[in-house]
Amino acid sequence: MSKLIKTDNEYKEWIGELKQRIRQSQIKAAVKVNTELLKLYWSIGGDIVRLKAEAKWGDGIIEQLSQDLKTNFPDMSGFSSRNLWYMKKWYSFYSQPDTKLPQVGAESKSEKLPQVVAEIEKLFFAVPWGHQRCIIDKIKNIKEAVFYINKTVENGWSRNMLLNMIESSLYYREGASINNFSSCLPASQSSLAQELTKDPYNFDFLTLRDGYLERELEDALTDNITKFLIELGNGFAYVGRQVRLEVGGDEFFIDLLFYHLKLRSYVVIELKTGDFQPEYIGKLGFYVSAINHEMKLPQDNPTIGLLICKSKNNIVARYTLDTANLPIGISEYELSQLYPKDFKSTLPSIEEIENELKD
């Protein structure tokens, strides 16, 4: 079959064109390595699909193409048959018909590219190939895939971080909190405020004992502040915990206080280890108001409150927010692992370990 393929005029013409395209790509890659490489992979994947290569030259065409390209470009990696299959899969995935997306970060309207790619062309070809393969391996929905492409570029995620975010279902959690932002904030702020929330928050990076207290949860989050900031999302800056406020001569302490750089506003976070209760919103609203009066500068936007609780009744939460006139969101959090209550007491002390070693 290989000899017949090699003598086919259309195949030889295609190989000749590919050689020229690859050489041109090698020159450009010195300046824009990732972008040009991805555009080359996209074009090869497109060729395989449009030429209906397998139907035309048989199932062995991908392996034959791999051999020919590696022979002609021995110093260039990426032409394994597995990688060529991924190029085909990648092109086919984003070329699905009837896919309409909002124009997010639109840079071009190239007629040669599928609509979904043309609208985010600059971002699309900025995401490394390993990330691209990870996305099409894990995601079936194009809108979800484009979401992770945007987030990867925005946050500079490594491949492992991208994989973690996909496995934690970030696409479905982001912007999912119950809130009153649209009625309490200007339109320009409410959409961004909505995006900065999640529901539920994933606290799987914490290890707590069964029956933990709110202070223990707060301790664990601040001890893991870097991971907590990653989970909160891009733009959050940590201000402090148990932030003291003096109002009318009385002292009050906020669980956690952040400042959001894009929103240009303070974000008050209150933690609750049990079910949502309507009275929590009154206390959080007071803290939001106090920050507006005591810490907010004229150039800052209105402070936002975020209540994160173990669980909530969504109907009760919505009804409660109907009574609030300050921007507040309500979300849940999830933990994957809890130690038994008496776990710490069963561990040997330092003295016991030292005595064992002496014996």
- Please report the pLDDT score of residue 325 as a whole number: 95
Q: What burial class does residue 353 get, using C-beta atoms within 10 Å of its C-beta: 0-12 exposed, 13-18 middle, 19+ buried?
A: exposed
Give the whole-angstrom CA distance, residue 12 versus residue 8. Answer: 6
pTM above 0.85, yes or no: no
Of the candidates 272, 355, 341, the one whose C-alpha atom is nearest the C-alpha of residue 307 is: 272
User: What one-letter code names the amino acid at 153?
Assistant: V
CA distances in angstroms from 170 to 151, 160, 273, 293, 346, listed in the order given? 10, 14, 22, 34, 37
* pLDDT 10s digits, 181-207: 999 999 889 999 999 999 999 999 998
Assigned CATH topology for domain 175-339: Trna Endonuclease; Chain: A, domain 1 (3.40.1350)
Classify residue 179 by its DSSP letter.
E
The three-class DSSP label of residue 189 is: helix
Q: Which residues of the chain have pLDDT under 50?
A: 30-31, 104-111, 345-346
Domain edges within the chain: 2-167, 175-339
Contact 230, 211 (CB under 8 A): no
CA distances in angstroms from 333 to 23, 228, 243, 339, 352, listed in the order given? 52, 12, 22, 17, 37
CA distances in angstroms from 92 to 31, 50, 136, listed in the order given? 28, 10, 10
Give the whole-angstrom CA distance, residue 165 versus residue 319. Answer: 31
- Please report the pLDDT score of residue 348 as a whole number: 54
Give the whole-angstrom CA distance, residue 156 versus residue 261. Answer: 17
* pLDDT 10s digits, 242-295: 999 999 999 999 999 999 999 999 999 999 999 999 999 999 999 999 999 999
- Please report the pLDDT score of residue 105 as a whole number: 43
